[in-house]
Chain A
Amino acid sequence: MPDTVATGTHKDSAEPPRPAVSAERRIAFARLRDLALIPPIIVIAVVGQLVNSVFLQTDNIINVLQTMSEIAVLVLAETMVLIVKKMDLSLESTMGLAPGVAAWLTVPTGAGHGLGLLPGGWAVPVTLAVGLAIGAVNALFIINFGLNGFIVTLGMLIVLRGILTGISGGQTFFHLPGSMLYVGTTEWLGMPASVWVCLILFAIGIVVLGFTSFGRSLYAIGGNVDAAKAAGIRTDRVLWIVMVTAGGLAALSGLMLSGRLASVASAQGNGYIFTVFAAAVIGGISLNGGKGSVFGAFTGILLLYLIQNVLTLGGVPAQWIGALNGGIILIALALSRVTGGKIQE
């Protein structure tokens, strides 16, 4: 027996636990999972090009990226939250309320429900501060009071939506200060600033979650919180940072949308969270935590919007887009179940 020890399990004639050949293959497969949506995206690109030659033109691609940029930032936020095995439904309301509060305080009186208390330059800091504060409230309830994240953020979703309706009187804020419009309207190097912001945030997300010890601690916490604690990770602090960051990202996402539309509707962001969850799960993020990558989540939301774009270009009536979208989400989930091989819970 002693000679088998030095060489470990492989040469053990009695019962080799796993052959070495498949180890290579399984490693390769684990890496490929991140790229699982690339082939479908290529297929969609080919189909799109056949349907309408406009599809692959730069203008159309930029248009798709800009339309999805705001919701993509929400997907990024939700991805982090899901990886630590929490849930944040309130992101969609944060996305409306944060710019809503900023507009309420800065839009001059006389025009709708604005109070005109602050000069226009305060709008962006106020938006972000509201987002971070909402994240902090969520964190307080979920982490410090130990409440269920789904229910807490469901409550927050309703409360925040109600506050926005209250301060806006159910109407839309117009005449936003210039600073709020900037990120949604400016172009940098020929591409809308919101697209740049979205891409840069995802790049940061990929680097932070893949290449920093903070990012890896997210996976450790989501995978096995006891083991993470045993490894010396301050789990509560990491969770706080994740929840608060998610709130801040949602506020930024709201700012981008308000800037593009030059208004804050009282229903801004309403219903987005379902698409956000669908995109994250299609992109390989597990609702059970600890699994998936930021890049995967990006391909998830990209795939959904490309399909939507192809349908629009193909002349599918707008009334049917919703039904088709739902169907696509279900098909995409089924496909990722087949490719992932595991039951989704």
Chain B
Amino acid sequence: MGTAPPVAEASGIVKQFDSTVALDDAHITIHQGQTHALVGRNGAGKSTLVSIMTGLQAPDRGAVAFSGRPAPRLADRDAWRRSVACVYQKSTIIPELTVAENLFLHRLDRGQLGLVRWNEVRRKSRDLLHKWSVDVDVRLPARELTIEQRQFVEIARALSFGARFIVLDEPTAQLDAAAISRLFTRIGDLQQQGVTFLFISHHLQEVYDICDTVTVFRDARHVLTAPVADLPRGELVAAMTGDAAEAGGRAPRRPPPAGAGRTLAVGSLTSAGSYQDVSFEVAAGEIVGLAGAAGSGRTEVAETVVGLRAADSGTVDVGGARPRPGSVPGTLAAGVGFVPQDRHHQGYVPHMSIADNGTLTVPRRLGPYGFINGRVREELARAAIDDLAIKTPGPDLPVAGLSGGNQQKVVMARALANDPRLLVLISPTAGVDVRSKEFLLHKVEQTAAGGTAVLLASDELDDLRVCDRVLVMVQGRVVAEMPRGWNDHELVAAMEGVDLDA
């Protein structure tokens, strides 16, 4: 890499949000012409580092430098854009405007009277896209582009500002295999033309495919930086997970009785863009994990099972019945209880009481003809509060007044209110304190012991540890099944899409 100063360097970065430390004395150095990978599990601090290195946020401490010069002021967007560009997961293309206008947004060519010269804008856009070999008609509205074309347009726009250092934030998350290989070819070409990339990905295989250097972050800290070629996969995964092997502590669960009838059967479930050809069964009393990185399709499959979304094709069979696809009332009637992914979004109504929230799924039990018998509701709520050890002065408290862990218990109470034969949990312990987490997972085991089938979609290793077996999803497909007793490295490697033996 010679003596030239690094294209980008961040050192001693500290960033804190309220009480959470997002980055703790983190550093990264990216040299000219590299394709540098930044990997780490959720919450490792990758996104925060990217937003600091692209000038969206200021670090609390530490400094960023480009080619040896200190980074510009935060307000000086133009200077930042000449140094670095980021293709975010969320597109910054405006769908209703044409490609040409998107490329030259806020710097359109103007003639006399300050009027926009559209012909000139289109000509320059064509030249720009031609220069970087992007074959897109500049007159098309941007919404007509495929995700892949949109990314190319964003890369071309970044290059047109003069930046030769580009951050790609999980660019492959929404692409299919053919598009990914085209993207990689493009990255390789640009690299030869002197463009440096910082590549963020959840799929470690991609790191081995296109990157030459990798930096690992874990728990807000820099763990290692090494040439990809010198780093065996096992070590990379170990660096990401840390010494997490100290799990233990929990008594092994009694395995479900052999020969128990199957409760859930999912057959060839396919939904374009989310998951393909997913099939599995869950027996009564069995806990099955659905693991996978963000965007792997695990959440979507679980949401299809509970009727929050409908698949394009395939079947969901609950206890011999086929609830109408995409209908939550249908699945509730079939005996499904579920804890949705985001409790704030789908889990509870914040201004309603614990009693109301906990009994939302069982209006029929509250009284005849749709009337609500206040006493019945209160009894049900009190039972749930005892059962789930919800810390509250009484069932009438609005759920918004509870702590995160107790809110999640209310959501759990709602899921269990109709004594489900199938319990589906999506990231059930996200944002929940350690004690509530233990409690909730124990409750899941208890419920399963009572003969309920459990499907648990999560990427948290602690959640998955209660499962009798874990199905691993990568890019919308079930790629592996691991029986109880897997070790963390294996599972993480499978979720990140690397083969440890390769």
**Complex CA distance for A219 and B134, rounded to whole angstroms:** 25
Q: Which residue of B lies closest to A9 (CB)?
A: B135
Q: Which residue of A lies closest to B184 (CB)?
A: A1
Contact B144 A213, beta carbon cutoff 8 Å: no
**Any chain A CB within 8 A of the CB of B351?**
no
Q: A26-B144, A216-B116, A231-B106 are in contact. Are A9 and B182 (CB under 8 A)?
A: yes
**Complex CA distance for A212 and B110, rounded to whole angstroms:** 8
Q: Which residue of B lies closest to A2 (CB)?
A: B185
**Any chain A CB within 8 A of the CB of B92?**
yes
**Any chain B CB within 8 A of the CB of A106?**
no
**Complex CA distance for A26 and B148, rounded to whole angstroms:** 19
When distances are taken between beta carbons in the complex, the residues of chain A under 8 Å from B139 are 27
When distances are taken between beta carbons in the complex, the residues of chain A under 8 Å from B105 are 216, 220, 227-228, 231, 233
Contact of A212 among B107, B116, B186, B189 (CB under 8 A): B116
Contact of B133 among A5, A211, A228, A232 (CB under 8 A): A5
Q: A1-B181, A10-B135 are in contact. Are A26 and B94 (CB under 8 A)?
A: no
**Complex CA distance for A270 and B101, rounded to whole angstroms:** 40
**Complex CA distance for A27 and B100, rounded to whole angstroms:** 12
Contact B94 A228, beta carbon cutoff 8 Å: yes
Contact A213 B133, beta carbon cutoff 8 Å: no
**Any chain B CB within 8 A of the CB of A186?**
no
Contact A14 B92, beta carbon cutoff 8 Å: no
Contact B114 A14, beta carbon cutoff 8 Å: no
**Any chain B CB within 8 A of the CB of A175?**
no
Contact A224 B77, beta carbon cutoff 8 Å: no
Within 8 A of A (CB), among B251-268: none
Q: A8-B135, A224-B92, A227-B94 are in contact. Are A1 and B116 (CB under 8 A)?
A: no
Q: A5-B185, A5-B186, A14-B178 are in contact. Are A219 and B97 (CB under 8 A)?
A: yes
**Any chain A CB within 8 A of the CB of B95?**
yes
**Any chain B CB within 8 A of the CB of A59?**
no
**Any chain B CB within 8 A of the CB of A190?**
no
**Complex CA distance for A10 and B134, rounded to whole angstroms:** 10
Q: A4-B182, A231-B105, A232-B77 are in contact. Are A224 and B140 (CB under 8 A)?
A: no
When distances are taken between beta carbons in the complex, the residues of chain A under 8 Å from B134 are 8
Contact B106 A1, beta carbon cutoff 8 Å: no
Q: State how many residues of chain B have any CB contact under 8 Å with chain A.
A: 42
When distances are taken between beta carbons in the complex, the residues of chain A under 8 Å from B140 are 23, 26-27, 30
**Any chain A CB within 8 A of the CB of B96?**
yes
**Complex CA distance for A272 and B1, rounded to whole angstroms:** 69
**Any chain A CB within 8 A of the CB of B449?**
no
**Complex CA distance for A157 and B152, rounded to whole angstroms:** 47
Q: Which of B106, B144, B148, B178 has the most CB of A within 10 A?
A: B106
User: Quick one: CB contact mask for B156-186 with A, threshold 8 Å, 1 for yes?
Assistant: 0000000000000000000010110110011
**Complex CA distance for A4 and B189, rounded to whole angstroms:** 12
**Complex CA distance for A167 and B140, rounded to whole angstroms:** 53
- Closest chain-B Cβ to A254's Cβ sits at a distance in Å of 30
- Closest chain-A Cβ to B292's Cβ sits at a distance in Å of 24
- Closest chain-A Cβ to B436's Cβ sits at a distance in Å of 33
Contact B182 A12, beta carbon cutoff 8 Å: yes
**Complex CA distance for A207 and B116, rounded to whole angstroms:** 9
- Closest chain-B Cβ to A3's Cβ sits at a distance in Å of 10
**Any chain A CB within 8 A of the CB of B136?**
yes
Q: State how many residues of chain A have any CB contact under 8 Å with chain B.
A: 41
Q: A212-B116, A233-B106 are in contact. Are A290 and B141 (CB under 8 A)?
A: no
Contact A223 B96, beta carbon cutoff 8 Å: yes
**Any chain B CB within 8 A of the CB of A291?**
yes
**Any chain A CB within 8 A of the CB of B481?**
no
**Any chain A CB within 8 A of the CB of B434?**
no
Contact of A18 among B114, B116, B146, B179 (CB under 8 A): B146
**Any chain B CB within 8 A of the CB of A7?**
yes
Contact A17 B185, beta carbon cutoff 8 Å: no
When distances are taken between beta carbons in the complex, the residues of chain B under 8 Å from A5 are 133, 182, 185-186, 189
Q: A17-B149, A211-B115, A216-B108 are in contact. Are A1 and B185 (CB under 8 A)?
A: yes
When distances are taken between beta carbons in the complex, the residues of chain A under 8 Å from B317 are none
User: Quick one: CB contact mask for A11-42 with B, threshold 8 Å, 1 for yes?
Assistant: 01011011010011011001000000000000
**Any chain A CB within 8 A of the CB of B78?**
yes
Contact of A224 among B94, B107, B118 (CB under 8 A): B94
Q: Which of B92, B105, B134, B144 has the most CB of A within 10 A?
A: B105
**Complex CA distance for A137 and B85, rounded to whole angstroms:** 38
**Any chain A CB within 8 A of the CB of B93?**
yes
When distances are taken between beta carbons in the complex, the residues of chain A under 8 Å from B189 are 2, 5
Q: Which residue of A lies closest to B111 (CB)?
A: A211
Q: Which residue of A lies closest to B114 (CB)?
A: A212
**Any chain A CB within 8 A of the CB of B24?**
no
When distances are taken between beta carbons in the complex, the residues of chain B under 8 Å from A2 are 185, 189
**Any chain B CB within 8 A of the CB of A6?**
yes
**Complex CA distance for A6 and B182, rounded to whole angstroms:** 11
When distances are taken between beta carbons in the complex, the residues of chain B under 8 Å from A187 are none
When distances are taken between beta carbons in the complex, the residues of chain A under 8 Å from B94 are 219-220, 223-224, 227-228, 290
When distances are taken between beta carbons in the complex, the residues of chain A under 8 Å from B141 are 26, 30
User: Quick one: CB contact mask for B94-133 with A, threshold 8 Å, 1 for yes?
Assistant: 1111100100011110100011101000000000000001
Q: Which residue of B lies closest to A214 (CB)?
A: B114
**Any chain B CB within 8 A of the CB of A318?**
no
**Complex CA distance for A194 and B93, rounded to whole angstroms:** 40
Within 8 A of B (CB), among A97-130: none
- Closest chain-B Cβ to A77's Cβ sits at a distance in Å of 21
Contact A213 B185, beta carbon cutoff 8 Å: no
Contact A230 B92, beta carbon cutoff 8 Å: yes
When distances are taken between beta carbons in the complex, the residues of chain B under 8 Å from A219 are 94, 96-97
When distances are taken between beta carbons in the complex, the residues of chain A under 8 Å from B107 are 213
- Closest chain-B Cβ to A282's Cβ sits at a distance in Å of 18
Contact B97 A9, beta carbon cutoff 8 Å: no
Q: Which residue of B lies closest to A22 (CB)?
A: B144
- Closest chain-A Cβ to B132's Cβ sits at a distance in Å of 10
**Any chain A CB within 8 A of the CB of B438?**
no
When distances are taken between beta carbons in the complex, the residues of chain B under 8 Å from A230 are 77, 92
Q: Which of A9, A20, A219 has the most CB of B within 10 A?
A: A9
**Complex CA distance for A316 and B58, rounded to whole angstroms:** 67
When distances are taken between beta carbons in the complex, the residues of chain A under 8 Å from B90 are 226
**Any chain B CB within 8 A of the CB of A258?**
no
Q: Which residue of B lies closest to A23 (CB)?
A: B137
**Any chain B CB within 8 A of the CB of A217?**
yes
**Complex CA distance for A210 and B121, rounded to whole angstroms:** 13
- Closest chain-A Cβ to B216's Cβ sits at a distance in Å of 29
- Closest chain-A Cβ to B404's Cβ sits at a distance in Å of 26
Contact B185 A4, beta carbon cutoff 8 Å: yes
- Closest chain-B Cβ to A214's Cβ sits at a distance in Å of 9
Interface residues of A (CB under 8 A from B): 1-2, 4-10, 12, 14-15, 17-18, 20, 23-24, 26-27, 30, 207, 210-213, 216-217, 219-220, 222-224, 226-228, 230-233, 290-291
Given pairs A220-B105, A226-B90, A228-B94, 11 additional interface contacts (CB within 8 A): A1-B182, A14-B178, A23-B137, A23-B140, A211-B118, A217-B106, A223-B95, A233-B105, A290-B95, A290-B96, A291-B96
15 A–B contact pairs at CB < 8 A? A5-B185, A6-B133, A8-B135, A211-B116, A213-B110, A213-B116, A216-B105, A223-B94, A223-B95, A223-B97, A224-B94, A224-B95, A227-B91, A227-B105, A290-B94
Interface residues of B (CB under 8 A from A): 77-78, 90-98, 101, 105-108, 110, 114-116, 118, 133-137, 139-141, 144, 146, 148-149, 152, 176, 178-179, 181-182, 185-186, 189
- Please name the 9 residue pairs, one residue from A and one from B, whose CB atoms are nearest each other, closest first: A8-B135, A223-B94, A227-B92, A17-B146, A211-B115, A231-B105, A231-B106, A211-B116, A27-B139
